[in-house]
A and B are shown apart, each in its own frame.
Chain A
């Protein structure tokens, strides 16, 4: 026993009357413009609120701004001072010359105190000449020289240089 299906045709025709209800003429011409204006206004208010929050969190900034508003001359003076500082800083930094710090030199005593050269075998080098380079002159472990502009690891790079040993004997 199923209930008799109801006929809503007349009601649906009547509901068509709702479709004929129209807003005032030209209403939709202005609608999107109003929405956009409110979006822009909300964005501006949000920015204003963030400024208010900033002034609340940094009260001296607010007082400074109030002072500037009350005395424009103060604002001009402050601005001029900031500009002068900026320009002075630029000029000063431009006039500065780069002077690299003097490298420490090793006295003769200190050179004598230099530990004996590490055996070449310790580096796994076959050529004895290669093993001495780390301890010769100022280019040793006590006087590291960092090349400006190079990698931090350049100082650990082994640069083989030819070394001449004084010849002995033969009466030459």
Chain B
């Protein structure tokens, strides 16, 4: 078969419609999605900002009003608040960067890769952040004279959190790898001079 014949087969569709659209259902769907729009967007980032700010502020005020201030707990509160600010700045940068990409397939893929890179970086940083937080918590507990068993329990809990966060990080890495592979396919055959 020549390509022109394949083209003729394709053009057969012009003579008849494949589907009919149930416009009422479509309209209802759009109304539902309109209400939902934006609700789930950026939930992870917002949660991280809220949790870090809330926990940081709570630890600070608890420590401030206690009879004997704990240096490591002050450090922990400051660290958590700094983490929240870091995520907030990263989020604002990401939103600003999102406006830079065009609507083509390549632009859309580049946008998705930039978002995936951001998630990989944040999940990696948050993972290592658990170690810093764990260290400050343990030092704070030692300074506060907590029993060795409570400290050991806390270490095990934080160790599990560190291990679990590895799964999340690997998910983002794998998603980014998929996007890069798709991008490489799009770029395949690109002349070297361009």
A binds B: no
